């Protein structure tokens, strides 16, 4: 901030200097222009005299050149920049233009000396106006210089005062924080971690140093407090571990005995499962054989169905043949009847033929009767054969269903046999695991004794650590919390150590099952 103030004053000085330079530059340019106008009008007076005396055309050329130059200089002047002399300037411009308009006419109509007197009188008025404008411009230039010098002096004085104040503030901002940091470091060296710090510091190098020192002091104080609390917790936990190890040792022996009994029971269970697996394999073999028998029965039933179907078809053909025989007997009976009628008409000559016709008719009637009886028997056989075929087909369907059920039973038996085999393998693996657990339990018993001795040693070390940390003077709880909030993102508080729960000692009063689950 201090260097920024000095830089602002330097920029202000530069701005004042630039403004003064531009003001003076404009005023000097206008002064030079007025001087050139004055000299040009004097030169016109000399040209006029030369022309009146010699009538030299070159003099008129010089006059026109001076006229153009004067016109250009008038156009370059801004009337608003002349401030109080603006009206005098406008009067000069008007008279100058009138002079240029009447110059040639004056030289032609008026005799030599009279023309020079008229032109000189007009030029005298022009030169007087230019003198007034020039005097005013010089006054403004002198006033501007005085004003700029005053402003520059005031700004330089303010810059000097501000510089001294800034230097003093910078010196104090460096020395005070350094003294505070030195005091905090000395107090920390004495073991006093309760040094008070400000809530915030400046964002400079010294402020960063103090912020880091504050964060360090707060974090170290918190860490030492946690170490003090952790030392007590470690001592308590060590005693609990020692007591728990003693209890664990007795429970480990009980577990070893229980593991032996478990191993024996698992051995018996393994034998039973293996026997069950063997039985399952035998049932699987028998079911497979039964399935083959059912398949053969199904094939035989299929063939029987085909044979009954053939018998049924043969019976139908025989029924058709009997129908033909019945038709033949009926026709024979009609022929015999016709023959008897013809024999009766023949009289005595036809008696023998009538006797033959009667016998044929009798035979035809007997044949028809026999055919009807045979037909009735064949119809009954066809009906029974159809019924038998239906029964055989139903029997075949039942046998096929039995075959399907036998397949399902075989699959189930296979699954049972595979599961029994897997159970046998699993129980064998459990036996191996129990053996490993038994070995591990014996190793744990040895580790328990080593843990007990380590717990006693840790308890002694925790007491020494608590005694060392007790030499430090730490912050209060509320102070730590406030300091941790003010330390900002860089403080980074560490989590507090949790006091271990006496689970092992509490579990000591339980039974064997509870000891096993806590182990």
Per the domain annotation, does 278 fall within a domain?
Answer: yes
Non-local (6+) Cβ contacts of 78 within 8 A are none
Same domain, 166 and 261: no
Q: Which of 181, 201, 229 is the last residue of a domain?
A: 181
Tell me what the mean pLDDT of segment 157-174 comes to. 75
Q: Which of 120, 147, 181 is the last residue of a domain?
A: 181
**Residue 370 confidence (pLDDT) above 80:** yes
Same domain, 143 and 51: yes
Residue identified by tokens 């430090």 is 472
Domain total of the chain: 2
pTM summary value: 0.30
Lowest mean pLDDT among 312-316, 432-436, 485-489: 485-489
**Residue 508 confidence (pLDDT) above 50:** no
Q: What is the pLDDT of residues 426-482, one digit of tens each?
A: 877 887 887 788 788 777 777 777 777 787 777 777 777 777 766 666 656 544 434
Q: Please list the residues that pair with 473 across neighbouring strands.
A: 192
Indicate the pLDDT class of residue 493, thresholds 50, 70 and 90: very low
Same domain, 130 and 265: no
120: domain CATH number is 1.20.120.1730
Per the domain annotation, does 89 fall within a domain?
Answer: yes
Q: Domain containing 47: what range?
A: 2-181
Q: SS3 for 173-206, per residue?
A: HHHHHHHHHHHHHHHHHCCECCCCCCCCCCCCHH
- Residue 119's pLDDT is 74
Non-local (6+) Cβ contacts of 116 within 8 A are 48, 49, 52
Residue identified by tokens 């035998």 is 282
Per the domain annotation, does 175 fall within a domain?
Answer: yes
Distance (Å) of CA 272 to CA 144, 427, 443? 125, 11, 32
Residue identified by tokens 């880091």 is 212
- Residue 515's pLDDT is 44
| Alpha-carbon span 363 to 242, nearest angstrom | 128
Question: Cα 328 from chain centroid?
Answer: 104
**Mean pLDDT, all residues of the chain:** 71
- Residue 205's pLDDT is 67
Per the domain annotation, does 250 fall within a domain?
Answer: no
Confirm if 62 and 54 have CB atoms less than 8 A apart.
no
Q: What is the pLDDT of residues 248-267, one digit of tens each?
A: 777 777 777 777 778 777 77
Per the domain annotation, does 214 fall within a domain?
Answer: no
Per the domain annotation, does 249 fall within a domain?
Answer: no
Q: What is the pLDDT of residues 270-311, one digit of tens each?
A: 788 778 878 877 877 787 777 778 777 777 777 777 777 777
Confirm if 277 and 417 have CB atoms less than 8 A apart.
yes
Indicate the pLDDT class of residue 388, thresholds 50, 70 and 90: confident
**Residue 483 confidence (pLDDT) above 50:** no
**Residue 217 confidence (pLDDT) above 50:** yes
Same domain, 168 and 308: no
Per the domain annotation, does 189 fall within a domain?
Answer: no
Same domain, 33 and 158: yes
Q: What is the pLDDT of residues 25-75, one digit of tens each?
A: 666 767 777 778 888 877 777 777 777 767 767 777 887 888 788 888 877
What is the dihedral angle through the alpha carbons of 165, 170, 175, 177, rounded to the nearest 10 degrees?
120
Same domain, 264 and 160: no
Q: Which of 181, 211, 239 is the last residue of a domain?
A: 181
Per the domain annotation, does 368 fall within a domain?
Answer: yes
Q: What is the pLDDT of residues 224-253, one digit of tens each?
A: 777 777 777 777 777 777 777 777 777 777
Same domain, 361 and 454: yes
- Residue 99's pLDDT is 78
State percent of the chain over pLDDT 90. 0
- Residue 24's pLDDT is 64
Token pair belonging to 248: 């664990």
Q: Count other Cβ atoms within 10 Å, centred on residue 265.
A: 11
| Alpha-carbon span 513 to 509, nearest angstrom | 12
365: domain CATH number is 1.10.287.950
């Amino acid at each position: 901030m201090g260097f920024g103030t000095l830089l602002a004053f330097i920029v202000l000085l530069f701005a004042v200097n630039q403004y003064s330079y531009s003001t003076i530059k404009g005023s000097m340019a206008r002064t030079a222009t007025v001087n050139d106008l004055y000299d040009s009008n004097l030169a016109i007076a000399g040209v006029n005299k030369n022309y009146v005396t010699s009538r030299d055309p070159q003099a008129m050329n010089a006059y026109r050149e001076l006229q153009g130059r004067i016109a250009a200089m008038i156009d370059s002047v801004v009337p608003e920049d002349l401030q109080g002399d603006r009206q005098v300037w406008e009067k000069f411009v008007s008279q100058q233009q009138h002079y240029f308009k009447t110059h040639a006419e004056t030289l032609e109509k008026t005799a030599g000396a009279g023309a020079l007197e008229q032109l000189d009188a007009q030029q005298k008025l022009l030169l007087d106006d230019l003198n007034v404008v020039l005097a005013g411009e010089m006054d403004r230039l002198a006033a501007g210089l005085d004003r700029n010098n005053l402003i520059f002096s005031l700004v330089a004085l303010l810059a000097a005062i501000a510089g001294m104040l800034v230097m003093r503030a910078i010196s104090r901002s460096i020395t005070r924080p350094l003294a505070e940091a030195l005091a905090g470091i000395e107090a920390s060296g004495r073991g006093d971690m309760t040094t008070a710090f400000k809530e915030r510091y400046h964002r400079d190098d010294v402020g960063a140093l103090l912020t880091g020192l504050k964060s360090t002091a707060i974090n170290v104080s918190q860490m030492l407090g946690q170490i003090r609390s952790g030392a007590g917790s470690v001592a308590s936990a060590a005693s609990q571990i020692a007591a728990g190890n003693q209890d664990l040792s007795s429970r480990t022996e009980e577990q070893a005995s229980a593991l032996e009994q478990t191993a024996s029971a698992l051995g018996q269970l393994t034998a039973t499962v293996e026997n069950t697996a063997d039985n399952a394999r035998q049932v699987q073999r028998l079911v497979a054989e039964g399935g083959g028998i059912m398949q053969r029965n199904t094939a035989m039933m299929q063939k029987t169905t085909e044979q009954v179907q053939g018998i049924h078809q043969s019976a139908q053909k025989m029924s058709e043949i009997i129908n033909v025989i019945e038709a033949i007997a009926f026709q024979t009976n009609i022929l015999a009847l016709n023959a008897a009628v013809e024999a009766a008409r023949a009289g005595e000559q036809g008696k023998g033929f009538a006797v033959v016709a009667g016998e044929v008719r009798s035979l035809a009637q007997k044949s028809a009767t026999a055919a009807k009886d045979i037909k009735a028997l064949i119809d009954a056989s066809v009906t029974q054969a159809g019924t038998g075929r239906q029964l055989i087909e139903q029997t075949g369907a039942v046998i096929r269903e039995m075959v399907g059920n036998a397949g399902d039973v075989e699959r189930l038996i296979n699954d049972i046999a595979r599961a029994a085999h897997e159970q046998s393998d699993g129980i064998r693996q459990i036996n191996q695991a129990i053996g490993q657990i038994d070995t591990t339990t014996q190793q744990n018993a040895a580790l328990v004794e080593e843990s007990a001795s380590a717990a006693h040693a840790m308890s002694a070390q925790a007491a020494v650590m608590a005694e060392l940390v007790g030499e430090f003077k730490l912050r209060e709880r509320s102070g730590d919390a406030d300091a941790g909030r003010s330390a900002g993102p860089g403080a980074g508080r560490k989590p507090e150590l949790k006091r271990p729960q006496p689970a092992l000692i509490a579990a000591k009063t339980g039974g064997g099952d509870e000891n096993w689950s806590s182990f």
